[in-house]
Amino acid sequence: MVIVPTPAKPPRIINFLKPYVLKMHFTSKFVSAQVIHSPIATVASSASSQEKALRPSIDSTGDVAAAAKIGKIPAERLLLKGIPAVEVHLKREQKYHGKVKAVIDSMREASVKLLWELLNLLAEFVLRLIIRVRMVENDEPAAQLLNTEVVASIQVGSESNIDH
């Protein structure tokens, strides 16, 4: 009798496909930002106004200007690691204003893509593709198709808690 061992399970690939999450913490004196790979709970990049190397370059450690500088540092570190996009996680009390806006905008300026922007681009691409397919099928001009329910049904950005 031959005993065949059970095959080893391959690693779950879905854990490595999930996005990186930007989490921010603010106090009256300090600003910190972390990018965490959520499935395996590892910190991909972080920066804080408490770091000794950053203190000489920051005038005040708790204001909006410090938040903008803190946002650029993890973005540059992410790009060095080859991570092009992050998801933004806001707490209930955090609004897209002030220090939060400064961190997010500085990450965007450092050419890190934000997940909701990628979803909006994908929705726009799908919408244009649907319109082209309908134009070919129905021989209708694009102006008539833009007034249909297809345009109203695809609105990814409106559900986002961050409005521009």
DSSP β-bridge partners for residue 37: 20, 42
Which position has the token pair 């080859």?
A: 82
- For the cut 80, the answer to whether the pLDDT of residue 112 exceeds it is yes
- Confidence class for position 7, pLDDT limits 50, 70, 90: low
- The length of the chain is 164
d(CA 28, CA 18): 33
Is 140 a residue whose pLDDT tops 80? no
Phi, psi of 71 (to 5 degrees): -70, -35
* Strand partners of residue 36: 21, 43
How much is the mean pLDDT over the chain? 76
**What does the pLDDT average to over 135-152?**
58
* Mean pLDDT of all residues in 123-128: 79
Q: 34: helix, coil or strand?
A: strand
Q: Which two structure tokens, joined as six digits, stand for 122?
A: 């994908």
Which of 147, 23, 150, 36 is closest to 89 using CA atoms? 23
Question: What is the bridge-based pairing of β-strands 20-26 and 31-37?
Answer: antiparallel
* CB-CB neighbours of 49 under 10 Å: 22
Other beta carbons within 10 angstroms of residue 102's beta carbon come to 21
3-state secondary structure of 85: strand
Question: Which of the residue ranges 44-48, 96-100, 124-128, 145-149 would you say has the lowest mean pLDDT?
Answer: 145-149
DSSP string of 126-156?
Answer: HHHHHHHHHHHHH---HHHHTTSHHHHH--S
